[in-house]
Structure 1
C-alpha cells in the first residue's frame, strides 16, 4: 500500500486538528471558565446572590468523599519520605537533619500534591460525571432556555467548595504527614525526638505554610474547573460521560504536576533558603 503526498498532508492536518489544536481549544475553554467562575464568585458574594446551600452540599460531599483517602495516602508517603531522607542523612553524617528534610517535604510538596491528586480522582470524577449526566439528559440546555445561568448555579458553588476543601485537606494532610514522619523517625529509625523537632523548627518558615495554602487554592481551582468544563462539554451519550470523566482526571493530574513544578521553582527563586 502506497501513500501519496496528498494522503500524508491530509493525515497531518487531521492529526493537528484532533490533538494539538483540540488540546489548545480545551485549555482555552477551561481558562475562560475558570476566570468567569472566579469573577462570578466575587460578584455573587458582594451582591448576596451566592448559592450558599449548594456550596455547603458540595463541600460536605467533597469532604466525605476524600478525607479518608487523604489520610490513608498521607501516612505511607510520609513514612517513605522519612525512610529516604533518613538513609541519605545517615550516609553523609547528618542524621539530625532528617526531621527538617522530611517535614519540609511534607508541607511544601507532599501535602498539597497528595490532596490535589485525590481531589482530582475522587471529587473531580464525581463532579464531571454529575454535570456530564445532566448535559446528555439536556438538563443544562433546559436551564439555559429557562434563563438560569449555569455558571452561577452549578459551577461557582463547586469551585468555591473545591477551594475551601482543598485548603482544609491540605492542612489535615500536612498534620498527619508530620506526625507520621515524626513517629516513624523516632520509633522505627531510632531518631531523637528533640532533634527532629528542633531541626524542623530551624529550617521551616511561615512562608512554607503560605506556599502550601496558595498551592491548595490553585490546585482546588484547577480540579473543579477542569471537571466542570469536561462535564459541561460531554457528548455521545453514556459512553461520552465515561470518556469525559477519564479525560478530566488525566488532564487535572497533568496540569497539577506542571503547575506544582512552576510554583516550586518560582518560590525557590524568590525566597532562597538561607543557611543556618
Structure 2
C-alpha cells in the first residue's frame, strides 16, 4: 500500500468516525427530547417500554449475579492480601465494600450492559432494518427514534439502575461471607468498618455511573442497529461493532468520572 493510499484511508476513517459520533450525539438528543415531551403528553410507547425492560432484565440479571460473585471474591482476596501486609485487617469491610460499590459495580454493570443488553438491542433493530421495517415506518411518517429508540433508552436506563443494585448487594454479601468463612475475619469488625466509611454518596455515584453507562449503550446499540446493512452478515457486524464501541466508551467515561470524583471528593475514593 502506497503512502498516499494509506493517508487517504486514515483520513476516510477519521472523517467517518467524526460523522458517526455526530450521528450518535444527534440520536441521543432526539431520543431524550422524545422522552421528555412524550411522557407528559401521553404519547410515550409504554407497552414497548415494559416489554423491552422485561426482556433486558431477563437476559442480564442472572449473568450479572454470576459475574458479581467471583468479582466480590477477587476483591476480597486482593484487599485481604494488602491489608495483612500493612496490618489493617480491621478495615477489611470498608475496603472491600467501597471497592465493590465505587468501582466493581459500575464496571460489571457496564460490561453486562454492553455484552448482553446492547447486543440484543442492536440485533433486534438490525433485523428490523434489513427487513425494511424501519423504512416502512419512515414511509408512513413515523419516527423510528420515537417509536423504537426512546422506549429502549428508557428501559435500559431503568435496567442499569437495577443491575448496579444487584451487583452492589451480591458483591458486598459475597465479600462478607468469604471474609468470615474463608479468611477468618470477624463479622462485627467487617460490618462496623463498612458502616463507618461507606456513605450514601458512594451508592449514588455508582448508580449515576451506571445510569450514564446505560444511556451510552442504548444510544450506541440503537444507532448501529438502525444503520445496519448487508443482510444477516451486516447485522452480525453491527452487533460486534456496537459491543466493542460501547465497551471502549464505557471504560473511557469511567476513567474520566473517577478522576473528576477523586478531585471533587478525594476522601470518598478508595
**TM-score interval for Structure 1 and Structure 2 normalised by the shorter chain:** over 0.9
Asked if the contact 2:91/2:193 (under 8 Å) is kept, the reply is yes
Matched residue count: 269
Any idea what the Cα deviations from partners look like across 1:223-274, whole Å, max 9, x if unmatched?
Answer: 1111000000111111110000000000011111001111111111111207
2:210 counterpart (206, 212, 216): 216
Partner of 2:161: 167
Secondary structure, counterpart of 1:273 in structure 2: helix
Query: Displacement, 1:21?
Result: 2.2
Please say if 1:141 is aligned against 2:135.
Answer: yes
TM-score by length of 1: 0.95
Partner of 2:59: 65
Alignment RMSD, CA only? 1.3
Aligned equivalents of 1:215 and 1:255: distance in 2? Answer: 13
Partner of 1:176: 170
Please say if 1:120 is aligned against 2:111.
Answer: no
Aligned equivalents of 1:178 and 1:58: distance in 2? Answer: 29
Secondary structure, counterpart of 2:87 in structure 1: coil
Partner of 1:267: 261
Query: Displacement, 1:11?
Result: 2.4
Aligned equivalents of 1:11 and 1:24: distance in 2? Answer: 19
Query: Displacement, 1:10?
Result: 3.0
Please say if 1:10 is aligned against 2:5.
Answer: yes
Query: Displacement, 1:72?
Result: 0.2
Aligned equivalents of 2:107 and 2:32: distance in 1? Answer: 22
Partner of 1:228: 222
Partner of 1:110: 104
- Which region of structure 1 is more displaced relative to structure 2, 154-163 or 116-125? 116-125
- Which region of structure 1 is more displaced relative to structure 2, 26-35 or 170-179? 26-35
Asked if the contact 2:202/2:268 (under 8 Å) is kept, the reply is no
Label 1:274 to 1:9 Cα distance change in 2 as closer, same or farther (>3 A).
closer
Partner of 1:52: 46
Unaligned runs of 5+ in 2: none
TM-score by length of 2: 0.97
Any idea what the Cα deviations from partners look like across 1:140-159, whole Å, max 9, x if unmatched?
Answer: 01110001111110000000
Aligned equivalents of 1:61 and 1:217: distance in 2? Answer: 18
Partner of 2:233: 239
Partner of 1:83: 77
2:184 counterpart (180, 183, 190): 190
2:246 counterpart (241, 252, 267): 252
Query: Displacement, 1:115?
Result: 1.5
